[in-house]
Structure 1
Amino acid sequence: MIDTVRIHCLNTGEYKDVPVGSSLEELIDIFGVKKPYLIANARVNNKTEALTYKVYHPRRVEFNDLSDSSAMRTYVRSLCFVLSKAVDDTLHNAKVFIEHAVSRGYYFYIESEEAVGEKELMAIKKRMQEIIDANIPFVQVEEEIDQVVKLFRENGMDDKALLLETSDELLYARYSKLDNYIDYYYGCLLPSTGYLNLFDVVPYNGGYLLVIPNRQNPVELEPVIPQQKLLKVYREHIEFLKISKLDNVGDLNKAIRSNKISEIIQISEAYQANEIADIAKEITDRYNDGLRVVLISGPSSSGKTTFRKRLEVQLYVNRLKPVGISLDDYFIDREHTPLDEFGEKDYESLYAIDLDLFEKHVIALLNGEEIELPSYNFVTGQREFRNHRLVMDNKSVLIVEGIHALNPKLTEHISRNQKFMVYVSALTSISLDNHNWIPPADNRLLRRIVRDSRYRGYSAQETISRWDSVRRGEEKWIFPFQENADVMFNSAMIYELAAIRRHAEPVLQQVPRVAKEYSEAYRLLKFLRYFNYIGDKELPPTSLLREFLGGSSFRY
């Protein structure tokens, strides 16, 4: 009888025969794996697994510490579980709603029969620490899905029950236990609460902020960065969702199955149209006070280009003449792109832009001179000139769109009263359930995967491989300036991930299982299964989502 199994540990480069049924947690000691920070999960044959995962067959294993995004997600999920149990232990019939990432933490609020003040918050934090100190294991339980749904309903967790019963048909589903408290998380958890060595909970804008380890230096807590404008946009959209009775994805799936998706699409599109009209009115009102340049920024795949085009249409309605340019057309040739600290081409860098040519063109336009606009070829990586000429007159306003548009260095020679700044991002406000938010970065990554495959000739594997670099660039070049915006526009739509699913799945399924990027592709495929399919035939040709899915009436 074979009682050992051969494991290849990528962290040490070693092969070892280990006892059959060894857990990943045990393999850390067997291989003597050392990482700078807490090890939270591992990639096993390029699929992310919890450290409680046991090996029964030959496997290739790579352990991840908190510097890895998937490991940080595992830590945060586990911390949210402890928070939810602590609230349940401390307050009578209380519910926690974890809504979104803001100010480098996670915003949540508590519904309770009791008043929640400073004393109650301290009791919750104390209970969290007690649970952590007790080193209680997170236990995974798998049962027939009907039984899991019934269990959640019996415990007043209708949001989780609805999510599971409206997702793709499954015979079995997993839930998690912490002592006698049950919850549901769609990703892996830590082995036990004792791993959670760093956290805080602080009051924040009428609710609370769960503070987590710093993503660059996980032995310290993230600093709480004020983001009042971002929080305001989230609150407005969550209020809109509550009015629409679409708090979570289970509600959306239920609406799809009830043939109400057409109405939801129309309402969602009308909501965005109204916001764009409001922004255009504010720009028009300020035009008489000297405003001449509108700067539109936002992270990758936030929908900046379509927002710009729709804003330009509305400005025409307001009897202004928008003249639009994209910073993407001012990329320097790919061979000259600066490198980041990892030696990779840093396309997110401000200095990937030809700043001298851009400044020369903006000043010329504001002086009423004609310019020849460059065009960047994303396939060849070269700048081209196609005799595309622009000029402004006395009713014109210049629209500049690009990830660096809010960076003060880009337009430092233009006075503040001449500029109006807009920050655009897909701030996904709908959640899977009350404890599982949808990261906007996942929303944007799925948009980018579909767009890159359709229009730029990149595979999902290539897009995923570049994503960490993109995210690092956003942290450095975009997010620090978002609160400078005069207004923020949320480009995420209630229904969009249900529409994206049929476009993203075939592209993600092409990622080879042997590729490192397979773990992320697999995670995204599992995530998309929570959404019922909808077609995009009812999306209007002016929909912002058309920028990624195709079929837009705008030219890009």
Structure 2
Amino acid sequence: MQEFEITLETAPEKTELVLIPEQTKLEQIAKQYQKNYSDRIVLACVDGKLRELSKVVKAPGKISFLTMTDRDGKRTYRRSMTLLLQKAVENLWKDQVKIRVYYSLGESYYCELHGTANDAAAVQALRAEMQRLVEADLPIKKCSVKTEDAEQLFHDKGMKDKERLLHYRRSSRVNIYELDGHQDYYYGYMVPSTGYLGVFDLELYEDGFVLLFPNKKGDEVEPLHTSNKLYHTLKESRSWSRMLDVGTIGALNDAIASGRGEQIILLQEALMEERIGSLAAQIAAKKGIKFVMIAGPSSSGKTTFSNRLSIQLLAKGRKPHPISLDDYYDDRERCPRDADGNLDFECLEALDVRQFNEDMTRLLAGEKVDMPSFNFKTGKREYRGRTLQLKENDILVIEGIHGLNDKLSYTLPAESKFKIYISALTQLNIDEHNPLSTTDCRLLRRIVRDARTRGTTAQETIAMWKSVRRGEEKNIFPFQDSADVMFNSALLYEVAVLKVYAEPLLFQIPRDSAEYLEAKRLLKFLDYFLPLPTEGIAQSSLVREFVGGSCFNV
């Protein structure tokens, strides 16, 4: 048997030249060097392209490994675990019970069984069957089939969501995965066998249960860290999608193809405006509220939401005054630096917290205050003669990433503050077993907006996204449960609109760049959507903050 030479990452950040026999599987190589990795290897990167471990190495090249704690490895693990869950349900209940995976809750998936009770006995039986399948180490096989054949397969299985989705696929072939006779279509890479999936748990939660995944170290299950607020916000959004009969990508594509796109836009916008109006009424009814604190992760639509809420507050008899926490940035030379030595604009210490509290306390006391403006060109805080004095019905609408952190507003009485957490919590699912990533939707929003307003390339936005996410996990997500209200800014139709703007930007990313794999993944994701034009979208719509044409200064 012939051998050839590969450049192999034999340990993290350690590369060697290695001779391997031809027709060697990546899994064989991974098992040989697994001892050098602290986490389970689940995926490989061959000459810059992601490859499943079941693939055979056919030529010399450069190979590195991804573990279950790497970004793409984590996705692979979760995808495979969902297939394992489906197979266990099939084994226990045949066709009598269906499993639905609705959305992410913290580091878990919220699921419901349909056709049997979601109780302790069912969850215990399901956990035991999943563990049995893991111990059996059954192979997960991939087969390429014609798209039309796959569509017919899912039609025969009664899996209408997948059938609808594949109806709009332009590629001639798709990959079907099989686990012990159970066939399904997935949207990315899988592990080679069930033996890789030993770290999981199931836990009863609300109307269903959660599928718990490994923690960041990969060795133990991450406990459920979430609140009922998040669950009920997502549940309400799910009821909206049911009302519009648009719960999956396939259903959205059906609506667009049949000419119902504009109707979906109008109905979704009406529902959102009703929700904002109700929130404004709730705030206006509390006479002691003087500070509406709005916070949320990147590209959640905070600015448009603040403007729309202000209009509704005005209609309810309160006079709003918008304040951006950005204007309280300390002068740039005093800005802290992160672990990489870069200016850390997202930490609380980047703001002049003392000055903010002094100004807000004086406003609460009825004094006239000179309000600052931050000059991003000079990196200095300036005063341009803008003064503010609160009257009886006046209210401040304060927007910024630290709005929910009481260390920001430590001198203000709790009863004077109303806290709102806003995020794009996507209620649309790929199909009945695969929720859309809310993070992906926010990333697409940011790619489109930053290209339009800042001249930032998609490659640059993707490159900085990891740092943005790190800042969110430190400065925003820990405080979301302290909010009085959670507001979902996701729009059912938005990805179909963003697609038109995002695709050309993503196609510009060079193949040899570090960001290419992520761009390719996002392009594949967007390929599932039919495009939707912006003509029917109002200037006040939240999506206008990203694609342009907003009536607000965003």
TM-score, scaled to structure 2: 0.94
CA 1:8–1:225: 2 relative to 1, 3 Å: closer
Contact conserved, 1:50 with 1:190, CA < 8 A, in 2? yes
CA 1:31–1:107: 2 relative to 1, 3 Å: closer
CA distance in structure 1 between the partners assigned to 2:534 and 2:384 by the alignment: 33
The letter of the residue matching 1:362 is M
The letter of the residue matching 2:193 is S
Contact conserved, 1:327 with 1:402, CA < 8 A, in 2? yes
Secondary structure of 2:178's aligned partner: strand
1:399 Cα deviation after fit:
0.8
CA distance in structure 2 between the partners assigned to 1:295 and 1:70 by the alignment: 35
Equivalent residues, number: 550
Question: Is structure 2 residue 408 aligned with structure 1 residue 405?
Answer: no
- Indicate which of 84, 98, 101 corresponds to 1:98: 101
- Indicate which of 419, 429, 432 corresponds to 1:431: 429
Deviates more, 1:45-54 or 1:396-405: 45-54
CA RMSD of superposed structures (Å):
2.0
CA 1:32–1:234: 2 relative to 1, 3 Å: closer
Deviates more, 1:251-260 or 1:118-127: 118-127
Contact conserved, 2:145 with 2:175, CA < 8 A, in 1? yes
Q: Residues 446-495 of structure 1, C-alpha deviation per residue, up to 9 Å, x if partnerless?
A: 11111111112322222212212222222221111111111111100000
Partner of 1:177: 178
CA 1:5–1:259: 2 relative to 1, 3 Å: farther
Alignment of 1:131-530 (within 5 A): 131-167=133-169, 169-215=170-216, 217-287=217-287, 290-334=288-332, 336-366=334-364, 367-377=366-376, 383=381, 386-530=384-528
Deviates more, 1:504-513 or 1:82-91: 504-513
1:77 Cα deviation after fit:
0.9
Contact conserved, 2:295 with 2:402, CA < 8 A, in 1? yes
Identity %: 39
CA distance in structure 1 between the partners assigned to 2:157 and 2:78 by the alignment: 23
Contact conserved, 1:166 with 1:254, CA < 8 A, in 2? no
Partner of 1:547: 545
For structure 2, which runs of at least 5 residues remain unmatched after alignment? Answer: none
Contact conserved, 2:444 with 2:502, CA < 8 A, in 1? yes
Secondary structure of 1:42's aligned partner: strand
Partner of 2:112: 109
CA 1:54–1:33: 2 relative to 1, 3 Å: farther
CA distance in structure 2 between the partners assigned to 1:326 and 1:19 by the alignment: 62
Partner of 2:70: 68
The letter of the residue matching 1:175 is I
1:387 Cα deviation after fit:
4.8
The letter of the residue matching 1:371 is D
- Indicate which of 526, 531, 534 corresponds to 2:532: 534
CA distance in structure 1 between the partners assigned to 2:173 and 2:259 by the alignment: 27
CA 1:32–1:201: 2 relative to 1, 3 Å: closer
Deviates more, 1:327-336 or 1:97-106: 327-336
Contact conserved, 2:372 with 2:382, CA < 8 A, in 1? no
Contact conserved, 2:119 with 2:204, CA < 8 A, in 1? no
1:385 Cα deviation after fit:
5.1
Q: Residues 270-311 of structure 1, C-alpha deviation per residue, up to 9 Å, x if partnerless?
A: 111001000100111002xx1100000111110011100001
Secondary structure of 1:187's aligned partner: coil
Partner of 2:21: 19
1:351 Cα deviation after fit:
1.7
The letter of the residue matching 1:257 is A
CA distance in structure 1 between the partners assigned to 2:436 and 2:158 by the alignment: 22
Contact conserved, 1:324 with 1:398, CA < 8 A, in 2? yes
CA distance in structure 2 between the partners assigned to 1:32 and 1:244 by the alignment: 49
CA distance in structure 1 between the partners assigned to 2:334 and 2:22 by the alignment: 52
The letter of the residue matching 1:241 is S
CA distance in structure 2 between the partners assigned to 1:380 and 1:41 by the alignment: 46
Deviates more, 1:303-312 or 1:23-32: 23-32
CA 1:397–1:547: 2 relative to 1, 3 Å: same
Contact conserved, 2:42 with 2:53, CA < 8 A, in 1? yes
1:201 Cα deviation after fit:
0.5
Q: Residues 15-47 of structure 1, C-alpha deviation per residue, up to 9 Å, x if partnerless?
A: 334334433223335667722211222333333
1:392 Cα deviation after fit:
2.7
CA distance in structure 2 between the partners assigned to 1:416 and 1:332 by the alignment: 25
CA distance in structure 2 between the partners assigned to 1:385 and 1:176 by the alignment: 62
CA 1:554–1:12: 2 relative to 1, 3 Å: same
Deviates more, 1:354-363 or 1:136-145: 354-363
CA distance in structure 1 between the partners assigned to 2:382 and 2:58 by the alignment: 56
CA distance in structure 1 between the partners assigned to 2:375 and 2:328 by the alignment: 7
Secondary structure of 1:300's aligned partner: coil
Contact conserved, 2:295 with 2:420, CA < 8 A, in 1? yes
1:240 Cα deviation after fit:
1.4
Contact conserved, 1:299 with 1:425, CA < 8 A, in 2? yes
Deviates more, 1:203-212 or 1:223-232: 223-232
Deviates more, 1:443-452 or 1:21-30: 21-30
For structure 1, which runs of at least 5 residues remain unmatched after alignment? Answer: none
CA 1:334–1:35: 2 relative to 1, 3 Å: farther
Q: Residues 351-406 of structure 1, C-alpha deviation per residue, up to 9 Å, x if partnerless?
A: 222222322332233333132331352x6755555554444333210111111100
Contact conserved, 2:368 with 2:387, CA < 8 A, in 1? no
Contact conserved, 2:3 with 2:19, CA < 8 A, in 1? no
CA distance in structure 1 between the partners assigned to 2:39 and 2:31 by the alignment: 15
Partner of 1:82: 84
